[in-house]
Amino acid sequence: MNAVNIGVISDLHVDLNEQPDEPSIEEALLQVVLERKLDTLIIAGDISNDAIRSIAVLKWLREHSGIPVLFIPGNHDYWSKDNGIKDTWEIYKQFQTYEGCLVERPYALDNGWIVIGNSGWYDYTMGEPGYSIEQFEQMHAMDRTWQDSLYVDWRMSNPNIHRYFYERLEKELEQHSGKPVIMVTHMLTHPFFKVPMPHPQWSYFNAFLGSTDYAELYQRYGVKYGIMGHVHYRKTHNFEGTELICACLGYRKEWRQESAVQEIRDCIQIITI
Ligand SMILES: [Fe+2]
């Protein structure tokens, strides 16, 4: 089998990062995808603040790159800031109409590897001690509101939607056990990637970054790679044989380079399998 080069990136935030006098973020990403001669691209969520825009970006990248562009929605992708769709499950179903959406649909690469993924969610287990569940359920502290409380409505609690995503991952990993697997979530699956303490605001908001439950799945199913996003870090961590990758483009104010192309070159991680 020939080696396959898979590019990994997340948190493009194309709407917030675009500048009128520069190529779009998706054009910049396309340039890097072509430069690096990638065979597949994985985007671990947060393309934009509107599901319809996020889907349009995915289709554009798929069409212009000519390679599979695999994706799981991030929390921002479930927002509908331009189109006002209130029902998050309706948005969830819209994402599934995109062929590269991994949610409930593991993707088999030509070389026998399987890419399994969904958004994952937060259940407050990444939260720091000293806060109660009731305080986390407020999704508001220190004059800041966690914006998912305004734009996402699963009609169930955060711990329950986490449980839903966890059980789907578990089922799909079981179905493909024995095969080499890349698991993709948007939410953090391991506390290594939390915001380090002490921190004035993240002492509360770490609770909304993911769940400590997911890491056990890597171990139980021998997952080779765990991809995630959400926290706007660029870090890797080897967790007992699973290579964890967080490759977030993040917001322009967090960038170190002048242009999106340069920043994406620094940010993108490449897995060769
Ligand atoms: Fe996010």
Residue 175's pLDDT is: 98
Q: Are strands 107-108 and 114-117 parallel, antiparallel or unpaired?
A: antiparallel
Ligand 1 mean position, distance from CA 44 (Å): 9
Ligand 1 mean position, distance from CA 40 (Å): 22
Q: Is the pLDDT of residue 2 over 80?
A: no
Say if residues 84 and 40 touch (Cβ distance below 8 Å).
no
Ligand 1 mean position, distance from CA 224 (Å): 23
Say if residues 22 and 51 touch (Cβ distance below 8 Å).
no
Give dist(CA 241, CA 218) in Å, integer.
Answer: 9
The mean pLDDT value for 25-53 works out to 98
SS (HEC) of 260-271:
HHHHHHHHCEEE
Ligand 1 mean position, distance from CA 111 (Å): 30
Give dist(CA 256, CA 231) in Å, integer.
Answer: 17
Ligand 1 mean position, distance from CA 119 (Å): 10
Ligand 1 mean position, distance from CA 10 (Å): 9
Other C-beta atoms lying within 10 Å of the C-beta of residue 37: 10
Name all domains of the chain by residue range, CATH numbers in brackets: 5-272 (3.60.21.10)
130: left (phi over 0), alpha (psi -120 to 50) or beta: left
Give dist(CA 149, CA 162) in Å, integer.
Answer: 15
Name which of 229, 248, 252 is nearest 15 in CA terms: 252
Ligand 1 mean position, distance from CA 230 (Å): 4
Ligand 1 mean position, distance from CA 120 (Å): 11
Ligand 1 mean position, distance from CA 178 (Å): 31
pLDDT digits (tens, 9 = 90+) for 187-242: 999 999 999 999 999 999 999 999 999 999 999 999 999 999 999 999 999 999 99
Any idea which residue has 């603040």 for tokens? 49
Residue 125 contacts by C-beta under 8 Å, 6 or more apart in sequence?
A: 211, 212, 213
Structure tokens, 241: 């044989």
Ligand 1 mean position, distance from CA 66 (Å): 27
pTM higher than the cut 0.95: yes
Ligand 1 mean position, distance from CA 172 (Å): 23
pLDDT digits (tens, 9 = 90+) for 101-129: 999 999 999 999 999 999 999 999 999 99
The mean pLDDT value for 136-148 works out to 97
Say if residues 83 and 91 touch (Cβ distance below 8 Å).
no
Ligand 1 mean position, distance from CA 245 (Å): 15
Ligand 1 mean position, distance from CA 47 (Å): 9
Give dist(CA 64, CA 137) in Å, integer.
Answer: 42
Give dist(CA 23, CA 260) in Å, integer.
Answer: 8
Q: Is the pLDDT of residue 43 over 70?
A: yes
Give dist(CA 269, CA 182) in Å, integer.
Answer: 14
Any idea which residue has 């734009």 for tokens? 151
Q: Is the pLDDT of residue 1 over 70?
A: no
Ligand 1 mean position, distance from CA 249 (Å): 11
Length of the chain: 273
Q: Are strands 69-71 and 140-141 parallel, antiparallel or unpaired?
A: unpaired
Ligand 1 mean position, distance from CA 46 (Å): 6
What does DSSP assign to residue 128? P
Burial class (CB in 10 A: 0-12, 13-18, 19+), 142: exposed
Residue 147's Cα: distance from chain center in Å?
Answer: 17
Ligand 1 mean position, distance from CA 187 (Å): 7
pLDDT digits (tens, 9 = 90+) for 233-270: 999 999 999 999 999 999 999 999 999 999 999 999 99
Residue 76's pLDDT is: 98
Ligand 1 mean position, distance from CA 222 (Å): 26
Ligand 1 mean position, distance from CA 121 (Å): 10
The mean pLDDT value for 29-44 works out to 98
pLDDT digits (tens, 9 = 90+) for 44-86: 999 999 999 999 999 999 999 999 999 999 999 999 999 999 9
Ligand 1 mean position, distance from CA 186 (Å): 7
Structure tokens, 240: 């007992």
Cis peptide before 20 (omega within 30 of 0): no
